[in-house]
């Protein structure tokens, strides 16, 4: 527990250093102004908040990758994840009444990514907290704690999320870690999904611990319909998993890597 609090303090210190170093480099530190988002045929709107970070640091091709399902440890709490447009606005029943629809899809994407990643030869694993309501964010069983431990051992950890629908969300994209050591995996995710600012919402709990957050897309419209439809569900999950795994492969195969 003490080490997790130390991680958090270290990230706060890093945030202040980054703020003084970046200045206007990442304008989201001062403003949430954004332009009209571009569209993806499957994922919908892509984030277009102003951001200029670049992930250029090389990583080993055998880099251990950990995939987390966002909100897997925070059901029944304030951070349970979005219910999605279908449930909130269209009166549809939740996919599973015991968890948010976002978590329902986060879990399935996490598992599909790991299965496909292993088949492609990646050094990739997942983490399951096993408890859906963990109040203390620094509890060793949380996603944050598992991700932080993995990163301290030299690995790369990212958390699957779906963004809120409508005006409440920004769209697909990678939210980077609060770090000066952004790498070619981060850059590959940004090119494939979109690039959130370094200081998005002042720095979220995961990124402060080195965990990247991958917003797959807003849980709305065609994307959500394709996931909910029993006929297209597997095809949609597989397509998202391929997009994620291909981004990982591209990042690991960068000419800068070894």
Question: Is 64 a member of any domain?
Answer: yes
Which pairs with CB-CB distance under 8 Å and at least 24 residues apart come from 5-12? 5/138, 7/148, 7/208, 7/209, 7/210, 8/138, 8/208, 8/209, 11/178, 11/203, 11/208, 11/209, 11/210, 12/208
The pair of three-digit structure tokens given for residue 180, joined into one six-digit string: 């000066």
Question: What pLDDT sits at residue 209?
Answer: 95
CA-closest candidate to residue 250, choices 158, 185, 199, 170: 185
* Residue range 81-93: mean pLDDT, rounded: 96
Query: What percentage of the chain carries pLDDT values higher than 70?
Result: 85
Average pLDDT across the chain, whole number:
87
Read off the pLDDT band of 38 (50, 70, 90): low
Contact 251, 191 (CB under 8 A): no
Question: Is 258 a member of any domain?
Answer: no
Read off the pLDDT band of 226 (50, 70, 90): very high
* Residue range 48-65: mean pLDDT, rounded: 94
Question: Is 257 a member of any domain?
Answer: no
Among 90-99, 199-208, 241-250, which stretch is predicted with the lowest mean pLDDT? Answer: 199-208
What torsion, rounded to 10 degrees, do the Cα atoms 158, 231, 37, 194 define?
20
**Has residue 138 got a pLDDT over 70?**
yes
Contact 99, 162 (CB under 8 A): no
Specify the pTM: 0.86
Read off the pLDDT band of 82 (50, 70, 90): very high
Maximum distance among all Cα pairs of the chain, rounded to whole angstroms: 51
Question: Is 22 a member of any domain?
Answer: yes
Read off the pLDDT band of 118 (50, 70, 90): very high
Domain that holds residue 128: 2-252
Question: Is 176 a member of any domain?
Answer: yes
Question: What pLDDT sits at residue 1?
Answer: 46
Question: Is 205 a member of any domain?
Answer: yes
* Residue range 223-237: mean pLDDT, rounded: 98
* Residue range 115-132: mean pLDDT, rounded: 97
Among 44-53, 73-82, 221-230, which stretch is predicted with the lowest mean pLDDT? Answer: 73-82
Among 9-23, 33-47, 146-160, 205-219, which stretch is predicted with the lowest mean pLDDT? Answer: 9-23
Task: Give how many domains the chain has, as a whole number.
Answer: 1
Question: Is 245 a member of any domain?
Answer: yes
Q: Please give the Cα distance from 204 to 108 (Å, whole number).
A: 23
Question: Is 11 a member of any domain?
Answer: yes
What is the chain's alpha carbon radius of gyration, rounded to the nearest angstrom? Answer: 17
Q: What is the CATH number of the domain that holds 46?
A: 3.40.630.40
Tell me the per-residue pLDDT of 67-77, one tens digit each, with 9 for 90 and over.
Answer: 999 999 999 77
Output the 3-class SS for the chain: CHHHHHHHHHHHHHHHHHHHHHHHHCHHHCCCCECCCCEECCCEEECCECCCCCCCECCCCCCCEEEEECCCCECCCCCCCCCCHHHHCCCCCCCCCCCCHHHHHHHHHHHHHHHHHHHCCCCEEEECCCCCECCCCCCCCCHHHHHHHHHHCCCEEEEEEEECCHHHCCCEEEECCCCCCCEHHHHHHHHHHCECCCCHHHCCHHHHCCCEEEEEEECCHHHHHHHHCCCCHHHHHHHHHHHHHHHHHHHHCCCCCC
Count of CB atoms situated within 10 Å of the CB of 156 = 25
């Amino acid at each position: 527990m003490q080490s997790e609090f130390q991680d958090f303090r270290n990230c706060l210190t890093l945030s202040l250093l980054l703020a003084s170093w970046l200045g206007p480099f990442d304008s989201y530190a001062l403003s949430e102004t954004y332009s009209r988002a571009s569209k993806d045929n499957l994922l919908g709107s892509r984030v277009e908040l102003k951001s200029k970070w670049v992930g250029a640091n090389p990583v080993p091709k055998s880099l251990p990758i950990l995939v987390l399902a966002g909100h897997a440890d925070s059901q029944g709490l304030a951070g349970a994840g979005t219910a999605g447009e279908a449930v909130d606005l269209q009166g549809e029943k939740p996919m599973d009444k015991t968890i948010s629809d976002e978590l329902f899809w986060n879990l399935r994407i996490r598992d599909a990514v790991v299965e496909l990643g292993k088949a492609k030869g990646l050094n990739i694993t997942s983490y399951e907290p096993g408890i859906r309501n963990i109040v203390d964010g620094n509890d060793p069983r949380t996603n944050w704690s598992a991700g932080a431990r993995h990163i301290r051992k030299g690995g790369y950890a990212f958390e699957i999320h779906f963004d809120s629908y409508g005006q409440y969300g920004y769209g697909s994209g990678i939210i980077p870690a609060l770090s000066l050591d952004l790498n070619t995996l981060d850059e590959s995710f940004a090119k494939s999904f979109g690039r959130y600012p370094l200081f998005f919402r002042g720095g979220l709990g995961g990124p402060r611990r080195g965990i990247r957050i991958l917003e797959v897309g807003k849980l709305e419209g065609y994307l959500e319909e394709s996931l909910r439809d029993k006929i297209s569900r597997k095809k949609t999950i597989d397509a998202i998993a391929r997009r994620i795994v291909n981004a990982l492969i591209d990042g690991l195969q960068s000419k800068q890597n070894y």
